[in-house]
Structure 1
Amino acid sequence: MKTVLVPLDGSEQSWNALEFAAEEFPSATVHVLHVIDPVEAGYTATATVPGYTEEWYEQAQERADELFQQAEEELGAESMKSATEVGRPSRVIVDYAEEHGVDQIVMGSHGRSGVSRILLGSVAEAVVRRSPMPVTIIR
């Protein structure tokens, strides 16, 4: 049986990737991964503002749980495993795939180009470069 990893960030592109994975690999076990990126909070994980880091993390975890519930409704619980990890998304995605014996990564791309891509980087591109397994990018 094939194992597919779909990183889910709640964007339309990530939902399209989940839909693609479900259609293309109907008998696969789908790992749905949500990465909590501390950079999104606008500070480092070692922030010294009491309670702020913990509160932000709890909200991010609640969002992940909501995403997993939606994904489970789409895929069905028997074919889905979910996980939340903290860190730099491109690194976490590849590390998770390697640690869990994933056969294929299917992920959405935001399709940024030009200056925004240079400034923000491309998680999808970094995953493609680092991944030892095939990666399918969905726009």
Structure 2
Amino acid sequence: MTPTVLVAFDESPQAAAALRHALSTYDDATIRVLYVNDPWEWAGADGIDGVFYAEEAFERSQAAAEAVIAEAEAIAREYDAEITTATEVGTASETIVSYAEEHDVDHVVLGSHGRRGLERYLLGSVAERVARRSPGSVTIIRDERPAEDD
């Protein structure tokens, strides 16, 4: 049976590195890419004239999600690979784990740090929570870019 690999994907360089790792390492697997649209992020968005409009904020977040998924699809094309993409609304770690359980994921690959940087550090690492709760194995990828030549 073909293994299923889930890549948690957001706007971070670590997420792009995680997807590249999955595409180059698990070429015989079904690759699923998941973007979690966290309402805690868009709920605090500025509204029009200082008034918050939940529907408009959600629509903006959906447009941003589409752009992030398009980036994942572009990376997959670099590897001449097919991926299955999904966007879910929820908190990152819980949604990633639930998605992995519901879709019989064998392995999860995600970046060590996501789009919220210090805030994620202060709240606790999504990667750590996923590693502790995932139904299968987890690989955490750091984006280690080579030093630029001087």
TM-score (norm 1): 0.84
CA RMSD of aligned residues (A): 2.7
* Contact kept? 1:28, 1:79, Cα under 8 Å: no
Q: Distance in 2 between matches of 1:65 and 1:114?
A: 25
* Aligned residue in 1 for 2:97: 94
Q: Distance in 1 between matches of 2:119 and 2:51?
A: 36
Structure 2, gaps ≥5 residues long: 45-49, 143-150
Which moved further from structure 2: 123-132 or 103-112?
103-112
Greater helix content: 1
**CA deviation string 1:74-125 (max 9, x = no partner):** 21486211111111110000000110111100000129999972x2211000
**Secondary structure, aligned partner of 1:79:** coil
Kindly state the Cα deviation for residue 42 of structure 1 after the two structures are TM-superposed.
Answer: 4.9
Kindly state the Cα deviation for residue 27 of structure 1 after the two structures are TM-superposed.
Answer: 2.2
TM-score (norm 2): 0.79
Return structure 1 stretches of 4+ with deviation > 3 angstroms.
Answer: 111-116
Identity percentage of aligned residues: 48
* Aligned residue in 2 for 1:84: 87
* Aligned residue in 2 for 1:11: 12
Kindly state the Cα deviation for residue 38 of structure 1 after the two structures are TM-superposed.
Answer: 1.1
* Aligned residue in 1 for 2:148: none
Structure 1, gaps ≥5 residues long: 44-48
How many residue pairs align between the two structures? 133
